[in-house]
Structure formats: structure tokens, C-alpha cells
């Protein structure tokens, strides 16, 4: 570790770099976190982990909690509406020795937010205080990923940010939209800048960063400690290396896809790994000319050797 490269700290944990892969359910599993760390993402967040699943030892849990050393520093993200269950889940997760514990205050899915979890907690600031107080003795830094509020009439992000800081939170990542907005409209970077000015703990800006120009604009505009990228990073790990994907030769994109695919197959097994890789493949190939029937063949094929053969045919067309 080179201390000169440290951009900020999360509690005692130094973070080397300011570009960070956002947590994404169904995308940022262990193989993709590992890949993006290699490409320069400064740390990793797991997909959200439902505290209820931890308590009931759901069979889905194992792959969601598994990680490799390469992904560190790692934040395990918990999601729930009940402070006691979150505490129990946090104690379980602690045994896995992540560097950081993150709490999700941003998920806008109806099934989550309407039961008061994720962005639903933004309507109950006192519960947020309670969660951080309960976790204050857990022995690892606890962070928050928030939205700006429930809807346009309750954009209470400054109150929420202060509560997080006052109750021991060590970092705030902010998606600049309300729950009501889901993914519509534009992320409000002014609001992110206001949060950065209002608290002393590090703030990471998130929302609508799609390319290298956006990264620079987000840095300049918000003065945040880090820039978090979600959708713009699907099929584009190069964004973390500061390289425009359009300048990457097709063969190199293919080579990266094969490494990623191999890791997926190792991690999930042949059938499941290939199925889960399909959405990544689609995103990697966005800049390619792909005949619709070839794309269809690729995205329905269920055998790795055939998949690689089809990729090679696509590559030939794109030379």
C-alpha cells in the first residue's frame, strides 16, 4: 500500500483512489468486484444483503456474502427496516471480516421501501439514529448509502446526513435522487455538494456518471471525496482506469469478457455462471456491431465453448 495514494479514510481504513464501483443487485457479485478492483475501483461494496436472509440462513446468502481478498477494502451492505435485526445481521457479518459495514437507505423497490427498509428509512430519521447508535460498538466502521429523501416534498438529506455523522457514521454515499424519482429525471449534484459542505466525514457522489467527462464534472462540481459509478460501469470496467471504452481494441474487450466469464463459471458453476454473465455480455457488446440473430444466439446459448465461438464470430465482424 502506498500512503501517498490515499484519497480519504473510512474510519481507520485508507481508500486509495476516488472512483468506486456502486453496489448493484445482480451485477456487483464477487467476480465483477474482483475485476473492477483490478481495473482501479478503489474499494468494493457487496450487493445489498437482506438482514432477514442472514437471520434465516437463506440458501441464496452464501454467494452474496462470498468474496476474495482481491476485492478488499470491502463493504458488506445490509438492508432492513428493523434496527435490532440489522444489529444481529451485523454481528454475523463481522465474523467474515469485511473492512466496512454499509447500511442501505436508498433502495427504492416498492417491496423494500414500502415496508420501511432502504429509502423507506429516510422517512424515519430517528430510526437511522438508532441503527447507528446500536452499531457504534460493532468494531468496524459503519457507513450509509442514501438518497435525497422520500419525495420532492421531503428532501431531508441534510438532516439525514447530520444524523448519520452525529451517531458515528464514517462515510455517506449519496445517490442524488429521491425515492419517488426512482431512476427518472436527473441526479441533483447541487444537493450532493450541499451534503459535502454540511458534514466532515467523507462523502461520495453518485448518480448519472456515465463517462470520464462526467467523473471530472462530478469531482469539480461537488468536491466530493469519491465518485461512485453504477450503470456506467456495467460492461465497462475501463471507466475505473480512466480509459474511454471506445479506445479499447475489440480483441481486448473480448479478452476481458473471457476472463470475466471464466470467473463467473468458477464462482457459480457452468450453467448458472453463463446465465448470469448474459447481461454483462450484452453491456460489453454495446459498442459492437452485432447482427440481431447472432446476439440472440449468444444470449440464449447455454454452453461456454459455444458462447466463446459466437463471441469470436462477433469479433471478426468488428475488426
Ligand X SMILES: Cc1cc2nc3c(=O)[nH]c(=O)nc-3n(C[C@H](O)[C@H](O)[C@H](O)COP(=O)(O)O)c2cc1C
- 169-188 footprint of ligand X as x/- string (CB under 6 A): ------x-------------
Closest CB 234 distance from ligand X, rounded Å: 8
Q: Which of 7, 107, 108, 224 is catalytic?
A: 107
145 binds ligand X (CB under 6 A): yes
Closest CB 145 distance from ligand X, rounded Å: 4
- Contacting residue, 10, 19, 20, 22, with ligand X by CB under 6 A: 22
Phi-psi region for residue 70, left (φ > 0), alpha (ψ -120 to 50) or beta?
alpha
CA angle 82, 47, 89 (to 5 degrees): 35
User: Closest Cα partner for 314 from 275, 264, 257, 260?
Assistant: 257
- 227-266 footprint of ligand X as x/- string (CB under 6 A): --xxxx----------------------------------
> How far is CA 161 from each of CA 129, 130, 157, 165, 198, rounded to the nearest angstrom?
10, 14, 6, 6, 8
- Contacting residue, 8, 32, 39, 48, with ligand X by CB under 6 A: 48
- Contacting residue, 9, 25, 123, 162, with ligand X by CB under 6 A: 25
Does the active-site annotation cover 224?
no
Residue 315, C-alpha cell as written in the block: 469479433
Q: Please state the length of the chain.
A: 319
41 binds ligand X (CB under 6 A): no
Residue 220 and residue 215: Cα distance in Å, rounded?
Answer: 9
106 binds ligand X (CB under 6 A): yes
- 196-215 footprint of ligand X as x/- string (CB under 6 A): ----------xxxx------
Residue 91, C-alpha cell as written in the block: 454481528
Under the rule (CB under 6 A), what is the footprint of ligand X? 22-27, 47-48, 77, 104, 106-107, 145, 175, 206-209, 229-232
Active site residues: 107
Amino acid at each position: 500500500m502506498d500512503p501517498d495514494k490515499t484519497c480519504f479514510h473510512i474510519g481507520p481504513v485508507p481508500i486509495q483512489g476516488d472512483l468506486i464501483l456502486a453496489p448493484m443487485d445482480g451485477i456487483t457479485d464477487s467476480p465483477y468486484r474482483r475485476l473492477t478492483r483490478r481495473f482501479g475501483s478503489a474499494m468494493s461494496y457487496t450487493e445489498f444483503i437482506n438482514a432477514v436472509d442472514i437471520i434465516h440462513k437463506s440458501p441464496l446468502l452464501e454467494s452474496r456474502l462470498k468474496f476474495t481478498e482481491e476485492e478488499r477494502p470491502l463493504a458488506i451492505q445490509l438492508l432492513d427496516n428493523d434496527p435490532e435485526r440489522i444489529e444481529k445481521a451485523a454481528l454475523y457479518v463481522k465474523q467474515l471480516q469485511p473492512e466496512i459495514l454499509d447500511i442501505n437507505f436508498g433502495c427504492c423497490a416498492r417491496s423494500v421501501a414500502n415496508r420501511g427498509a432502504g429509502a423507506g428509512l429516510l422517512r424515519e430519521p430517528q430510526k437511522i439514529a438508532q441503527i447507528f447508535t446500536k452499531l457504534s460498538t460493532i468494531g468496524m466502521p459503519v457507513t450509509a448509502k442514501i438518497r435525497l429523501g422520500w419525495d420532492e416534498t421531503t428532501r431531508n438529506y441534510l438532516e439525514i446526513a447530520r444524523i448519520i455523522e452525529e451517531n458515528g457514521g464514517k462515510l455517506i454515499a449519496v445517490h442524488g435522487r429521491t425515492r419517488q424519482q426512482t431512476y427518472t429525471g436527473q441526479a441533483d449534484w447541487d444537493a450532493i455538494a450541499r451534503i459535502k459542505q454540511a458534514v466532515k466525514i467523507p462523502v461520495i457522489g453518485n448518480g448519472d456518471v456515465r463517462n470520464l467527462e462526467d467523473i471530472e464534472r462530478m469531482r469539480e462540481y461537488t468536491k466530493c471525496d469519491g465518485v461512485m459509478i453504477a450503470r456506467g460501469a456495467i460492461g465497462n470496467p475501463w471507466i475505473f482506469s480512466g480509459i474511454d471504452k471506445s479506445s479499447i481494441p475489440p480483441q481486448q474487450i473480448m479478452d476481458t469478457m473471457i476472463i470475466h466469464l471464466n470467473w463467473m463459471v468458477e464462482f457459480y458453476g457452468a450453467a448458472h455462471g453463463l446465465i448470469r454473465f448474459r447481461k454483462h455480455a450484452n453491456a460489453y457488446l454495446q459498442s459492437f456491431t452485432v447482427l440481431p440473430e447472432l446476439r440472440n444466439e449468444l444470449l440464449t446459448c447455454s454452453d461456454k465453448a459455444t458462447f466463446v465461438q459466437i463471441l469470436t464470430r462477433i469479433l471478426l465482424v468488428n475488426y
